[in-house]
Amino acid sequence: MTDGTTPRLRSSLEGVPSYKPGRAASSQAGAPAYKISSNENPYPPLPSVLEVVRAEAESFNRYPDMFATGLMAAIAARFDVPESHIATGTGSVGVLQQVVQATAADGDEVIYAWRSFEAYPIIVQISGATSVKVPLTSGERHDLDAMLAAISDKTRLILLCSPNNPTGTAIRRDELERFLDAVPRDILVVIDEAYREFVRDPDVPDALDVYRDRPNVAVLRTFSKAYGLAGLRVGFAVAHDPVAAALRKTAVPFGVSSVAQRAATASLQAEDELLERVEALVKERSRVYDALRDQGWTLPASEANFVWLRLGDRTTEFAAACEQAGVVVRPFDGEGARVTIGETPANDIFLQVAAGFA
């Protein structure tokens, strides 16, 4: 649309939903305020990682290593994949943008479950492609049969979010294998495993095992959640050639800063320590889940670092009550609230509020 007085912008930008970041915490009436709205890691940076970041900060007048050589080697060694199968990006959201840019444009279709990660519709719409949203099952899980049925000649990409943000459910091995067997080989399937480190269900596969003999499967991982580097923006994809090469091509040049590269590499070196923290959060997740069940809630078991309460039209009221009590959660108006497993006192405040809504 243009009347000749303003620059012409691509029509696909019209109506793009804006990403709603989790609200920041604010103190009210002296009560401690906690942000449990963005699935962040509540632990502060590890001293060993902080030290590397401080040292690297001395040289930020220089561009970063465009090929993230050290980080690529560390990822390859840790996950036992060839370096040629890795592409890094500015968070896995950045990598996702690279994926969409490499696969889909005007007239193409991208299938994903809904509700799922809110970045998906934004990135797809900006590309000019069309989102095909397949509703979750009544159990808040991916409906893989319906997703298969949604495949058309125009499908170029399928996004699977496992565990799913915001419902916490994860796709099991058998259903995933069956699904992948049925998807045409010329359609890329991306498994977004932003919360992989929090998975404890043994029937949920590690997508890095699944991708190995499937050239049309790519895996997204991030350093933002379990590794606690959300503010540094670094994530990666693992995929076969030529997909991985295409994801490196579509990356923003020098996108991942040297601080982020070094911090991610140091985090892989300190992985044992970080995974102990993840284990503590998983225990806390069980405690919160059990308490909610005892209060009378029905909710899906979560394999991630958050829980999902389907509150329907009470969602806004619930979020306001949480805020009043000192915790900020993430409401999806009319649907439900996603609540991150945070510091124990934050989780306790959330549970107190939840008790009043059960």
Q: Which of 88, 92, 131, 216 binds ligand PLP (CB under 6 A)?
A: 92
Least distance in Å: CB of 165 to ligand PLP?
4
Least distance in Å: CB of 47 to ligand PLP?
22
Interaction between residue 91 and ligand PLP (CB under 6 A): yes
d(CA 145, CA 147): 5
Interaction between residue 169 and ligand PLP (CB under 6 A): no
Q: Which of 109, 192, 197, 323 binds ligand PLP (CB under 6 A)?
A: 192
Q: Which residues touch 156 (CB under 8 Å, ≥6 apart)? A: 103, 104, 108, 109, 110, 129, 187, 188
Interaction between residue 194 and ligand PLP (CB under 6 A): yes
Residue 28 is classified by DSSP as B
Phi, psi of 190 (to 5 degrees): -105, 125
Interaction between residue 224 and ligand PLP (CB under 6 A): yes
Q: Which of 75, 93, 157, 238 binds ligand PLP (CB under 6 A)?
A: 93
Token pair belonging to 158: 């399928």
> Could you say which residues in the range 9-68 bind ligand PLP, by CB under 6 A?
39
CA nearest 47: which of 266, 222, 226, 258?
266
Token pair belonging to 203: 């029937």
d(CA 216, CA 213): 9
CA nearest 211: which of 195, 194, 189?
189
- Is 273 in contact with 336 (CB distance < 8 Å)? no
User: Order of strands across the sheet with 306-309?
Assistant: 306-309, 336-340, 330-332
Interaction between residue 88 and ligand PLP (CB under 6 A): no
Contact string 149-168 vs ligand PLP (x = CB under 6 A): ------------x---x---
Nearer to ligand PLP, 166 or 326 (CB): 166
Element (H, E) at 352: helix 344-355
Q: Which residue is nearest to ligand PLP (CB)?
A: 91
Q: Which of 41, 222, 261, 347 binds ligand PLP (CB under 6 A)?
A: 222
CA nearest 80: which of 263, 268, 294, 258?
268
Interaction between residue 117 and ligand PLP (CB under 6 A): yes
Nearer to ligand PLP, 125 or 326 (CB): 125
d(CA 74, CA 70): 6
Stretch that binds ligand PLP, among 17-25, 90-98, 148-156, 265-273 (CB under 6 A): 90-98
> Could you say which residues in the range 325-354 bind ligand PLP, by CB under 6 A?
none
Listing DSSP states for 305-336 in one string gives SEEEE--GGGHHHHHHHHHHHTEE-EEETTTE
Stretch that binds ligand PLP, among 62-70, 87-95, 279-287, 328-336 (CB under 6 A): 87-95
Number of chain residues interacting with ligand PLP (CB under 6 A): 14
Q: Which of 53, 126, 187, 230 binds ligand PLP (CB under 6 A)?
A: 230
The residue ranges that bind ligand PLP (CB under 6 A) are: 39, 91-93, 117, 161, 165, 192, 194, 222, 224-225, 230, 235
